[in-house]
């Protein structure tokens, strides 16, 4: 497996959206800038959702307009609807992401509509994004299990991934929102999805609640996945996935990929320092094993 992997750093968005205390805008800006300085080329920096539901993400405009942009870095944002897209355009996002789920009950809890309604909502958003030549990513949550309705079938994931792809999403990120899946299950899910969406357009997004994220990632790398979402210091969680822990730590993913001889363009030493810095800023335990073990 001697080739290149695209990492999508979701720490500033997925990582911070669940923090109990409001993180100062300056800290968010510094985090995004530090991550860019580590060599991360794709950073999900903001979320233009309802501040009533996710107050932590209310300063997305200030974050996106406050960072010193590195020309080679893509700064993206979550956009659940047209209102979100307009806000993302106004803030100068390079890419946006829509999000839905493979399970009806998670979709209802998260974005207050059915899966079909979410797709209908995304259609005009994708058309508008296209006019602005804005690339759109699509997230499918709960691909290996739902906190409300339990098991999710691979065919259900494939159907939603296909619908997002048909709508024009350039990349589909498959999210184990509650971090519950194991490798064979992840493989079966991917096998179903890749029949609908080319593997080169698929990303994986593992939360690490049960400590399975790296095992799942390794299995799916063997199956051809080359886009991985992760979060510095393992920050993260979804407010509508009770008990779910953070994303797999970017440091741990980079360490794994280095060991496999795969290229990421990331400076691990700097990344570890960034993970330590943000953990300290948030008064939070560093969720990266590599971050804890790396020599000081
Ligand atoms: P809604 O509650 O169904 O109602 O919103 P609405 O559309 O009628 O809007 C209600 C209020 O929100 C209105 O304001 C709107 O203006 C406002 P009011 O009249 O009450 O003052 N509003 C907005 N404000 C700012 N930006 C917007 C926006 N849209 C409406 N874009 C909505 C539906 C989806 C907006 C809402 O439910 C929401 O924002 N939910 C947040 C969901 C969320 O952010 N979840 C976490 C991210 S997803 C995730 O973490 C999973 C992922 O990581 C993958 C994985 O791990 O699986 C991606
Ligand atoms: Mg997530």
State whether the beta carbon of 14 lies less than 6 angstroms from ligand 1.
yes
238 catalytic per annotation: yes
131 C-beta closer than 6 A to ligand 1: no
Q: How far apart are CA 252 and CA 7, in angstroms?
A: 12
What pLDDT, on the 0 to 100 scale, is given for residue 64? 98
pLDDT of 2 above 70: no
When pLDDT is cut at 50, 70 and 90, the band that residue 100 belongs to is very high
Q: What whole-number distance in Å separates Cα of residue 135 and Cα of residue 44? A: 13
- The stretch 77-104 carries a mean pLDDT of 98
How does residue 15 score in pLDDT terms, banded at 50, 70 and 90?
very high
Say if ligand 1 is within 6 A of residue 137 CB.
no
- For residue 137, which ligand has an atom nearest its CA? 1
Which of 16, 50, 110 has most ligand 1 atoms within 8 Å of CB, for mutation? 50
Answer whether residue 284 shows pLDDT above 70.
yes
- Ligand 1: residue of 49, 51, 207, 248 to mutate (most ligand atoms within 8 A of CB) is 49
**CB of 52 closer than 6 angstroms to any ligand 1 atom:** yes
Mean pLDDT of the chain: 96
The residue contributing the CA closest to ligand 1 atom 20 is 52
Q: Is the dihedral of CA 241, 224, 294, 44 positive or negative?
A: negative
Nearest ligand to the CA of 180 is: 1
Residues above pLDDT 70, as percent of the chain: 99
The predicted structure's pLDDT at residue 283: 92
Alpha carbon of 166 to ligand 1 centroid (Å) = 23
pLDDT of residue 240: 79
Nearest ligand atom owner, CA of 236: 2
Would you say residue 1 lies in a domain?
no
Atom 1 of ligand 1, nearest CA residue: 112
pLDDT above 90 covers what percent of the chain? 95
pLDDT of 136 > 80? The answer is yes
Residue 158 lies in a domain: yes
- Residue range(s) defining the domain that contains residue 285: 6-293
Please state the rounded mean pLDDT for residues 195-203. 98
Considering every ligand atom, which ligand is closest to the CA of 247? 2
**Is residue 9 within 8 Å of residue 230, measured between CB atoms?**
yes
pLDDT 10s digits, 229-256 = 999 999 986 777 777 889 999 999 999 9
Ligand 1 contact via 244 beta carbon (within 6 Å):
no
Q: Residue 157: which pLDDT band, with cuts at 50, 70 and 90?
A: very high
Q: Is residue 55 in contact with ligand 1, taking CB distance under 6 Å?
A: no
Give the pLDDT confidence score for residue 242 in this predicted structure: 78
Query: For residue 291, how far is its CA from the centre of ligand 1 (angstroms)?
Result: 33
**Domain harbouring 38, CATH code:** 3.20.20.70
Which atom of ligand 1 lies at the shortest distance from residue 57's CA? 44
Q: Per-residue pLDDT for 189 more than 90?
A: yes
Given pLDDT bands bounded at 50, 70 and 90, which one contains residue 99?
very high
**Domains in the chain: how many in total?**
1
Cβ–ligand 1 distance for 54 under 6 Å, the answer yes
Confidence of residue 1 (pLDDT cuts 50, 70, 90): low
Sorted by sequence, the CB contacts under 8 Å of residue 137 that are 6+ apart come out as 76, 95, 96, 97, 98, 169, 170, 171, 172, 173, 203
Distance 122 CA to ligand 1 centre (A): 13
Summarize the confidence of residues 27-36 as an average pLDDT.
98
> Which residue is associated with the tokens 């690490």?
208
């Amino acid at each position: 497996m001697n080739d290149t992997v695209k990492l999508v750093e979701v720490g500033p968005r997925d990582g911070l959206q669940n923090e109990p205390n409001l993180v100062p805008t300056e800290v968010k800006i510094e985090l995004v800038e530090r991550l860019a300085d580590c060599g991360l080329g794709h950073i999900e920096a903001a979320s233009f959702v309802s501040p009533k539901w996710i107050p932590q993400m209310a300063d997305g405009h200030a974050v996106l307009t406050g960072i010193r942009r590195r020309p080679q870095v893509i700064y993206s944002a979550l956009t659940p609807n047209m209102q979100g897209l307009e806000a993302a355009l106004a803030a100068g996002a390079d890419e946006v992401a829509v999000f839905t789920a493979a399970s009806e009950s998670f979709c209802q809890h998260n974005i207050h509509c059915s899966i079909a309604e979410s797709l209908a909502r995304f259609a005009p958003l994708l058309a508008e994004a296209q006019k602005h030549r804005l690339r759109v990513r699509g997230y499918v949550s709960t691909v290996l299990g739902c906190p409300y309705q339990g098991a999710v079938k691979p065919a259900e994931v494939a159907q939603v991934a296909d619908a997002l792809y048909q709508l024009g999403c350039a990349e589909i990120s498959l999210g184990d929102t509650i971090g519950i899946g194991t490798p064979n299950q992840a493989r079966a899910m991917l096998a179903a999805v890749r029949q609908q969406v080319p593997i080169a357009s698929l990303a994986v997004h593992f939360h690490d609640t049960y400590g399975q994220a790296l095992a799942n990632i390794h299995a799916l790398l063997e199956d051809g996945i080359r886009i991985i979402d992760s979060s510095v210091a393992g920050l993260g969680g979804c407010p509508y996935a009770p008990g779910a822990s953070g994303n797999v730590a970017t440091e741990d993913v980079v360490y794994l990929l280095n060991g496999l001889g795969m290229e990421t363009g990331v400076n691990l030493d700097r990344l570890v320092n960034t993970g330590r810095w943000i953990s300290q800023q948030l008064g939070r335990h560093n969720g990266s094993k590599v971050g804890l073990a790396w020599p000081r």
